[in-house]
Amino acid sequence: MSLPLLALAVASFGIGTTEFVIMGLLPDLARDLGVDIPAAGLLVTGYALSVAVGAPILAVLTGRLPRKTALIGLMGIFILGNLLCALAPSYWTLMAARVVTAFCHGAFFGTGAIVAADLVPRHRRASAVALMFSGLTLANVLGVPLGTALGHALGWRSTFWAVSAIGIAAATALAIWLPSGLRAQPARLLAELRALAGPQVVLAMLISALSSASLFSVFTYITPMLEREAGLGAQAITVALLLFGLGLTVGNILGGRLADWRLMPSVAGIFAVLVAVLAVFTVTVAQPVAAVATMVVWGILAFALISPLQTRVVDQASGAPNLASTLNQGVFNIGNALGAWLGGEVIHLGLGYDRIPWLGAALALVALALTVLSMRRDGRAVSVAGE
């Protein structure tokens, strides 16, 4: 990994930690703030929707800035948001602080993915994007378990103080290692919007949304699920999240290599296996060891989709790569919000935590159908071009 890619990975580690660590802290947050777990889960939904809203706004505001300046400025917003989370006195002030934190998310990953792809030869683009996203997966290996353990030991506010420190380290790494000569292409907003309206671009973004909805419909409630169904305690859940994060890391690397080989067939195959694994999870969730093993496989599959889907959107929106890359991060997070909300509805209906993986499987199945449709459109386009 080159130093510029390492700088991007450090920043994505910080963003990933603050996004995902909330799942491990849900029971503590709910008790301290006097709300139930589904209400605490809305902190995930609020964050995700704020990413979706903030992504296009900040993409436009930072579009003409040198990319290094834009990325460092976005990390400044991240640091401010996490400091506000640590100081929040109530549920709604914490929600507002999460909104501030989330605004940098989509624009950072969107711009960062373009920068990562520009730093390497064309045939290694998906792998470079995967390397940047390795910070996101390492956040689940290290940031989430350690942040969860820190929150259990010293209170959930201590976790956000620690994440603020990570943000400062990330901004420093970007300032030192990221090249200064990276400039955005002149933006022509109307032309870019037309490029984003193409059917294949829309399909790619729908697939991205469903992929993240499938993941977050289950992952948002993974801590209470493991507590109530598998009977795991706090320490065992920390270990389970660590192993899950290792699965995400393996999946991220695997997905980048598969995308550089055969992108859409790989996406279709991953979705097909993902549906089966989530169906199995409805049974194994009642057995501690089997539940954790299933989690690891699920994590590999879920994050193997990230860099292929990001690359697919940028490829299909060749006339608006920066805006498309950023908007796709917003779309991912709309899926996060949808998944967290749907999972909460399953709980409210009294269906039980063991039924939530069925919801994830159903969402993945719809994503598989759209992937097959997109591949058929590719085939028809090739046939027309051949004629």
CA distance 352 to 355: 6
Q: Is the pLDDT of residue 319 over 90?
A: no
pLDDT in tens, 111-131: 888 888 777 777 777 788 888
For 3-40, what is each residue's pLDDT tens digit?
Answer: 888 999 999 999 989 988 887 888 888 889 888 888 88
Close Cβ partners of 136 (under 8 Å, ≥ 6 residues apart): 12, 13, 15, 16, 248, 252, 306
Query: What's this model's pTM, rounded to 2 decimal places?
Result: 0.76
Structure tokens at 311: 């690359």
User: Which of 86-100, 241-255, 314-328 has the largest mean confidence?
Assistant: 86-100
- Higher-confidence residue of 333 and 147: namely 147
Mean pLDDT of 307-311: 87
Distance separating alpha carbons of residues 152 and 237, to the nearest angstrom: 12
The yes-or-no verdict on residue 286 having pLDDT over 70 is: yes
How many other CB atoms sit within 10 Å of the CB of residue 188? 12
Residue whose token pair is 């940098």: 104
| Helix runs in the chain, H state only | 3-33, 37-62, 67-87, 91-118, 125-138, 144-154, 156-177, 189-196, 199-219, 222-225, 234-261, 263-284, 288-303, 306-316, 321-348, 356-386
Is the pLDDT at 354 greater than 80? The verdict is yes
pLDDT digits (tens, 9 = 90+) for 221-276: 888 899 989 888 888 887 888 888 888 889 988 998 888 888 899 999 999 999 99
Domain segments of the chain: what residues? 3-177+187-380
Contacts (Cβ under 8 Å, ≥6 apart) of 79: 164, 167, 168, 171
Q: How far is CA 233 from the centre of its chain?
A: 26
Question: pLDDT band at residue 184, thresholds of 50, 70 and 90?
Answer: low
Distances (CA, A) of 29 to 149, 166, 375, 385: 14, 21, 43, 56
Place of tokens 């209906």: 349
Q: Which residues pair with 66 in a beta bridge?
A: 183
How high is the mean pLDDT of the chain? 86
Contact 271, 279 (CB under 8 A): no
Q: Where are the alpha helices (DSSP H) in 119-233?
A: 125-138, 144-154, 156-177, 189-196, 199-219, 222-225
Percent of the chain residues past pLDDT 70, beyond the cut: 93
The fold for domain 3-177+187-380 equals Growth Hormone; Chain: A; (1.20.1250)
Looking at residue 182, its pLDDT comes to 65
Residue length of the chain: 387
Contact assessment for residue 224 and residue 26, using Cβ atoms and an 8 Å cutoff: yes
**Token pair of 361 as six digits:** 């499987």
What DSSP character marks residue 1?
Answer: -
Q: What is the average pLDDT across 177-203?
A: 72
